[in-house]
């Protein structure tokens, strides 16, 4: 672990544990309703994006705890992890915009999409700041991104589980 990451170790340990527990609970909750989720046009993609966002938080905070890792390597790892999660989120956004059954205004569709995109963008920004050498700001943005990822995943998973009952 680099010297700059040392002050973040307790935060990262707490986030890895809490996020992993939350991801497990959400997977169990979704598996109970998997038939209804899979019969929807948008819910599978939204559920996958929610889980991918939590996995992103686990990966980024977990990798921050790796001993002997240079900051540039951590920045690349966080950037790659965010790009992978972004693919899931883009798929969910496309599903939302292509859903003929629950069409809304452009503003409503954008609002549905923003909750999932916000933490991904924050991770991308934090990673780029880290790679650019703006270490304190990059680490702070990655910490904020982790909190946003957890909040976003909870909200999106809740939406999926509520939509199953409609």
More confident residue, 102 or 27: 27
Residues 1 and 64 sit within 8 Å (Cβ to Cβ): yes
User: For 15-36, how does the pLDDT look when each residue is reduced to its tens digit (9 = 90+)?
Assistant: 999 999 989 888 888 888 788 8
> CB-side exposure of 54: number of CA atoms within 13 Å?
23
Q: Is the pLDDT of residue 164 over 80?
A: no
Among 53-67, 95-109, 147-161, which stretch is predicted with the lowest mean pLDDT?
A: 95-109
Residue 75 confidence (pLDDT): 96
């Amino acid at each position: 672990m680099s010297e700059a990451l040392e002050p973040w170790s307790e935060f990262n340990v707490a986030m890895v544990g809490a996020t992993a527990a939350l991801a497990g609970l959400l997977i169990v909750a979704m598996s109970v309703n998997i038939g209804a989720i899979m019969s929807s046009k948008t819910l599978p993609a939204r559920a996958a994006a929610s889980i991918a966002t939590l996995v992103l938080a686990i990966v980024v905070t977990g990798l921050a705890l790796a001993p002997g890792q240079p900051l540039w390597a951590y920045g690349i790892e966080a950037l790659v992890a965010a790009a992978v999660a972004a693919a899931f989120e883009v798929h969910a956004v496309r599903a939302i915009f292509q859903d003929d059954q629950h069409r809304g205004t452009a503003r409503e569709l954008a609002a549905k999409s923003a909750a999932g995109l916000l933490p991904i963008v924050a991770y991308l920004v934090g990673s780029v700041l880290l790679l650019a050498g703006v270490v304190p700001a990059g680490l702070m943005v990655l910490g904020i991104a982790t909190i946003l990822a957890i909040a976003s995943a909870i909200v999106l998973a809740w939406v999926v589980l509520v939509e199953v009952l409609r």
